[in-house]
Amino acid sequence: MVGPGKDPRTTISPCEACSVRELSVCGVLSPSELDRLEAIVGKNNFAPLQMIFSEGDAAASLFNVTGGVVKIYKLLPDGRRQITGFLFPGDFLGLALHDTYSYSAEAITAVSLCRFPRTKLETLMGEMPHLEKQMLRTASNELAAAQDQMLLLGRKSAAERVATFLLMLHRRALRRDDSHGALLDLPISRADMADYLGLTIETVSRTFTKLKNEGLITLPGTHKVDLADMDQLEDLAGIVVDEDLANAAYL
C-alpha cells in the first residue's frame, strides 16, 4: 500500500499494519511486545511448488503465514503421501518443535511468510508470558484439529470426508473474512485433496460429481464450489451443530 517514493518508515510498524495479526499469535501482544517480535522477524516469499522446509531438516525457524496457502505433509518410504494440514494466512507453521522438522512444508500458491529464528523466538517466549501462552493455545487448537482429522481418516466414508473438508474450508474462509456467502474458492488440486483426505484423485473427483448430482453442491468451476445445501452437508459431515458451540469451535 506504500506508494513508490514514499518513505516506508512511519510510526506505524509493519506488524501493526499486518492484516493477519488479529488471526495469529501476534494478536495478543502489546505494542512494545510487538516491537520486540518485529526485531527478530524476517520476511520470506515462496513461489508455487517451492519447498519451505523438508522433513528431517534442522528446525531453525518457525513461521507465520501472511499470504497464500501452504501444505504440510509426511511421506512413506515408497512415496505415499499424507497431507496433515493446509495453512492459510494467519496460521502458524512449524509448531512441532524438535531439533528437526517432523514433516515437510510446500507452497501451494504464491506464499509470504514471517520467519522467526527458533532460538530467538524461544528467548522471547521466556520473557513474554503472553506469547508462550498463546503458543500453547495454538498447539492445543492444532491438536484438537488433528483429532478431528483422525476421526475423518479412520471412520468416515469418501462422501463424508469431502463434505467435512468443504465445510472446514468454508469456516476458515469465514474466519479470514474471505468469504462470498456459500461460494467457496478451492485453491487446492484434486491430488492434494486426495492426499489430505486419505483417498485417490479419482475417488475425490467421483465424490464431487456425486455430491453435485445429489444437489448438495454446485461446481461453477473446477476450483470453485457452491455449498448449496449446507444442512445436508453438515449432516453428512457428522458435524454436531450445537447452537452455542458452533461459533466457538476452532475459531
Partner DNA sequence: CGCTTTTTTGAGAACATTCAAGGCATGTGG
Partner DNA sequence: CCACATGCCTTGAATGTTCTCAAAAAAGCG
Binding of residue 231 to its own copies (CB under 8 A): no
Binding of residue 241 to its own copies (CB under 8 A): no
Residues 6+ apart with CB under 8 A from 9: none
Q: Could you say which of DNA, its own copies, none residue 76 binds, taking C-beta under 5 to 8 angstroms by partner kind?
A: its own copies
Q: Are 68 and 112 contacting, i.e. CB atoms less than 8 angstroms apart?
A: yes
In the list 112, 179, 189, 232, the residue contacting DNA (rule: CB under 7 A) is 189
Residues 6+ apart with CB under 8 A from 230: 167, 182
In order of 165, 223, 233, 244, the CA distances from 191 in angstroms are 14, 13, 22, 35
Q: How far is the CB of 175 from its own copies (least distance, A)?
A: 16
Binding of residue 232 to its own copies (CB under 8 A): no
Angle formed by the axes of helices 158-175 and 190-197, nearest 10°: 110
Question: Of the ranges 24-32, 146-154, 180-188, 221-229, which one interacts with its own copies (CB under 8 A)?
Answer: 146-154
Q: Are 70 and 111 contacting, i.e. CB atoms less than 8 angstroms apart?
A: yes
CB atoms closer than 10 angstroms to residue 24: 20
Give the closest residue to 13 by CA, choosing from 30, 34, 40, 28. 34
Q: Are 4 and 75 contacting, i.e. CB atoms less than 8 angstroms apart?
A: no
Question: Of the ranges 51-59, 95-103, 154-162, 239-247, which one interacts with DNA (CB under 7 A)?
Answer: 154-162
Q: How far is the CB of 109 from DNA (least distance, A)?
A: 11
Query: 71 or 190, CB closer to DNA?
Result: 190
Binding of residue 157 to DNA (CB under 7 A): yes
Binding of residue 246 to its own copies (CB under 8 A): no
Give the burial class of 94: count Cβ atoms within 10 A of its Cβ; 0-12 exposed, 13-18 middle, 19 or more buried.
buried
Binding of residue 214 to DNA (CB under 7 A): no
* 230 backbone dihedrals φ, ψ, rounded to 5°: -60, -40
Binding of residue 57 to its own copies (CB under 8 A): no
Binding of residue 230 to its own copies (CB under 8 A): no
Question: Of the ranges 7-15, 28-36, 220-228, 235-243, which one interacts with its own copies (CB under 8 A)?
Answer: 235-243
**Residue ranges that bind its own copies, judged by CB under 8 A:** 56, 74, 76-78, 80-82, 84, 95-100, 102-103, 125-126, 129, 132-133, 135-136, 139-144, 146-151, 153-156, 195-198, 238, 240, 242, 245, 248-249
Residues that bind DNA (CB under 7 A): 157-159, 189-191, 198-206, 208-209, 219, 221-223
